[in-house]
Amino acid sequence: MSYLLVLLILLIPSPVSYTSEKGECDAARVRVVEKVGKKAFLKRTAFLADFAREEAYALTVRPGRILIEAATPTGAFRARKSLEQMRLEGDRIPCCTIFDYPRFRHRGLLIDESRSFKGLDFLKKQVDAMALLKLNRLHLHLTDAAGWRLRIEAYPALTDKAAWRIGERYIDWQNAGYPFATATTTGAYGGFYTREQMKELVAYAAERHVEIIPEIEMPGHSMEVNRTYPEMACETSDGKALPFSWDLCPGRDETFTFLETVLSEVMEIFPSRYIHIGGDEAVMKDWPRCVHCKARMDAEGYTDVKQLQGYLVRRIEAFLRSKGRTMLGWDEILETGIPEGAVVMSWRGTSGGKKAAAAGHDVIMCPTAYCYLDYYQDLIRKEPKAVGPLNSLHRVWSFEPAEGFSDLDAGHILGLQGNLWCEWVPTVSHAEYMLYPRAFAIAETGWSPRGNDTFEGFRPRAVSLCKAFRSLGYNTFDLSTESERAQSRCYEVGRQGYQVIYQEKGGVTLSYYHATPARVMIFDGWAFLDRNGNEALDLFEDWRKQPGERSDDYYRLTGERIPPEKFASGEFDNPANAKPL
């Protein structure tokens, strides 16, 4: 393999501009010169947005010298990381010239520490990987029903009692009735971060130009708070506290004292501009029978308990703004009156992001169908248990954050983020397996100009970088075993009675009549109905396979047994509706 090919394969994200030159250099021996903040480079990058100029760099590799030029130390750091990637296969690298800068300012990963506690060494290791990939935001999900992971001095019971549980896996804890424990309880699982540990991590990440964004969930996902401090939970008219309530009580003044105190301690640790408050999946089932919530509704003139969430979100946003911070929340905060300065993370598809941007709010795109890294990355029969349908490397790479936005609204897109939730990811090695290589695709989309490359060009680079990551001690998914189905991709736009299929380039490749709206996949030159809606071709959807195979696969995926003879007879589906391309 030529050195030039090694460079082109390994560099993820791909640079804005790359020019090969004659010769090669020994990077271990050659002199590396940095020029930061020089007028010539500042003039060269004057056309860029401020965030892009801050991270822009030029890298010139010659036999006798490597020159790094940048406007800021951050840009120089990005250049060194490109050079580090180029050296992963050896010190002798081809001469070249690179000019590079990011497309989006927010290029992030979320790691869920509440459902599965992984520890400081793990987080530092992922920060190292992020730096190598030019990812710059680590979103830590620190609190949830399954565990409170950050020591709060004013409320020590949060970690004394709610950082430990019985059941390493979330599902085991759930099935056992949500038993919490203490650190000394036999069989206890969990842990938490001290203030000093988090400050250490913040400093470690800052040295690598990664900012850490903490998330403190509210009002939903808060059973651990109510269990620990039941005097703050919702209360019925007969004086009965509801410590198993999923939501905080927005009627109690004590709730806001608690939240402001917690957030004050959080802001002492994390200097990030953004503080994430969650805001998602509040069930609100206890609010209608809570005397404090009823009193709050009467005082505010509310007629619907959903208005209480908007009250809490707006009050907390004002508090954070008074401290010079910006509130970040999941797209549910749009439903109950979003504060003017809040930023939205669009996870339930892309519609939340579009709605927020149209209203003048900045957005970060992380829709489940592309950016959730706890979903399967290959066929269900060969992968460990996961939460959702197929989000293969190709699927993640295919995401275009600005698709469907007007040019004006697209200006509100801060970037994108891959989210690794850990209900089904109990170990460090499993977490890395789910992160890589799909985090490579998040990095590529967040940094590189769209249209610079094809998936056929990206995938070999991902294969090589996986090998390099494994040599660095990361447990990655093995792309050499990835099925052809996971590598395929299609889109559909449909309405009842007519279905139009779009493939990668956006051109219409197939249309045919179908009686009801249907998802259709393109595979091996054929169109197939996606009967279970997981956007992956399963054997039961492929009439070229044996009826028994199709029946078994349908049962594994859905739990419903369809007799093989139905597949054999065509009673279950009608392949005559499909046409080869």
Amino acid identity, position 574: N
pLDDT for res 451: 81
Q: Is 412 a catalytic residue?
A: no
Going from N- to C-terminal start, the domains of the chain cover 3-100, 106-481, 490-577
CATH architecture of the domain with residue range 3-100: 2-Layer Sandwich (3.30)
pLDDT for res 523: 59
- Closest by CA to 288, choosing from 265, 308, 260, is 308
> Which residue shows structure tokens 């709010």?
361
Q: Has residue 503 got a pLDDT over 60?
A: no
Q: Is 361 a catalytic residue?
A: no
Q: Which of 209, 221, 292, 412 is labelled catalytic?
A: 221
pLDDT confidence tier of residue 485, bands split at 50, 70 and 90: low
pLDDT tens readout for residues 66-115: 999 999 999 999 999 999 999 998 899 999 999 999 999 999 999 999 99
pLDDT for res 289: 97
- Residue 265 has which token pair? 């301690």
CATH architecture of the domain with residue range 106-481: Alpha-Beta Barrel (3.20)
Top pLDDT among 147 and 500 is at: 147
Helices (H), 213-305: 223-228, 253-269, 291-300
Q: Has residue 390 got a pLDDT over 60?
A: yes
pLDDT tens readout for residues 326-379: 999 999 999 988 999 999 999 999 999 999 999 999 999 999 989 999 988 887
pLDDT tens readout for residues 191-249: 999 999 999 999 999 999 999 999 999 999 999 999 999 999 999 999 999 999 999 99
Distance CA 21, CA 348 (A): 46
Tell me the average pLDDT of the chain. Answer: 89
DSSP string, 384-430: ---SSSB--HHHHHT--TTTT--HHHHTTEEEEEEEE--TT--SHHH
Amino acid identity, position 423: E
Q: Output the pTM of the full model.
A: 0.85
| Long-range contacts, stretch 230-235, CB < 8 angstroms, 24+ apart | 232/258, 234/286, 234/287, 234/289, 234/290, 234/292, 234/293, 235/290, 235/291, 235/292
Amino acid identity, position 64: G
Q: Which of 91, 172, 196, 281 is labelled catalytic?
A: 281
Burial class (CB in 10 A: 0-12, 13-18, 19+), 136: buried
pLDDT confidence tier of residue 483, bands split at 50, 70 and 90: confident
How large is the average pLDDT for residues 551-580?
Answer: 73
In eight-state DSSP terms, residue 14 is: P
Q: Is 144 a catalytic residue?
A: yes
How large is the average pLDDT for residues 414-443?
Answer: 97
**Omega before residue 13 within 30° of 0, cis:** yes
pLDDT confidence tier of residue 500, bands split at 50, 70 and 90: very low
Q: Has residue 497 got a pLDDT over 50?
A: no
Q: Has residue 517 got a pLDDT over 80?
A: no
Distance CA 473, CA 467 (A): 10
Q: Which of 113, 144, 235, 409 is labelled catalytic?
A: 144
pLDDT tens readout for residues 124-153: 999 999 999 999 999 999 999 999 999 999
Q: Has residue 538 got a pLDDT over 90?
A: no
**Are the folds of 3-100 and 106-481 the same?**
no
